[in-house]
Structure 1
Amino acid sequence: MSNTTLTYYNQNAKAFSDSTLNVDMSALYAEFLPHVAQKGHILDAGCGSARDAVFFKAQGFTVSAFDASPELAELASSYLQQPVAVKTFQELNCVNQYDGIWCCASLLHVPKAELPQVFLNLQNALKPNGVLYVSFKYGESERVHNGREFTDLNENALTHLLSHTQLKVIKQWQSVDQRPERESEVWLNALIKVVHVL
């Protein structure tokens, strides 16, 4: 995440957290959770308000979470009632740890040139049968909007970014933003698994 984007989240942490806490994510949970081992370990990566981590925890999953913004991580820890680490996707360096990794509207702040390595980090962090969920704003550009830097992806760009990994898209679909006044924004969603080459 760029310093510009990080500064934005640190300065607007409370407002951002409040604006996302009550967004209905049930349709996305319904796609992701059937692929996660029962009572498995889910990483909410770039957790923001920790809205999703709180839901997963309530469903009986073990949850870990991190965010690059210290201010957001502090708010998220309070809401989740457990520590939320301050780190970036580039600093994720664990192996075989998670049954599911949830990257909801978080990888979109990683510069496109750094995404191939970040996907390798995520691949390594997953258990053999683990599942990865990602979402990006739909498009093809890298852009700055309202003080934040975004990497937009479409289906082809995402598939291309995974071509050097053992990750394979098992489902991808488009959805519209669930926040009021944002219905015109389209998102690319994908479920991704590790495919082991024999």
Structure 2
Amino acid sequence: MNPSLTPMDWVKFLISAVIGLVTLISSLEMPKADIWVVVAILSGVIGYCAKIYFTFQANMVAYQNLITKSMYDKQLDSGKGTLLHLCDDVIQQEVKEVIISYYILMEQGKATIQDLDLRCEQLIKEEFGVECNFDVVDAVKKLEKLGIVSRDSIGRILCVPLKRANEIIGTTTEELVIRAQQAPAGS
């Protein structure tokens, strides 16, 4: 879209030009046409037309600044910041899946993949009122990789007790930060 004079600007411009020309011609037809009157009329018409033009130019600059600011603001929403935000959201989602799966196993004891999937989806629906397709297979793989769940001889999944799971996982980064903040200065 290219900005241009509005229809109202064109009307003002044309009316002032016509009035100026009519006044100029009528003053020239007078028997004693004063050159200073002609110059004053011409100056007035040219000045008014210049005012309309420069107002339009100022509006164009304001419009271009608005577009530039909008593009700059949108640029801020892309790139590294957006990618980091998305990565953080994905990590949080993965952690939530693991925690919910472990919680259900802790509450239920042993479960098949299908039963665990169903129970996780039920928990989310009951607690948050949202239906979802829970990726329990991925969550169980992560829990197995951490070493806090295993499978029995018939393939059911079972988890280690919470205290043992905490020992296996070890100290989290958050716990290290909290300990560092609580430590007396100079120790």
What is the TM-score with the length of structure 2 in the denominator? 0.21
Query: Greater strand percent: which structure?
Result: 1
Larger Rg: 2
Greater share of helix = 2
TM-score (norm 1): 0.21
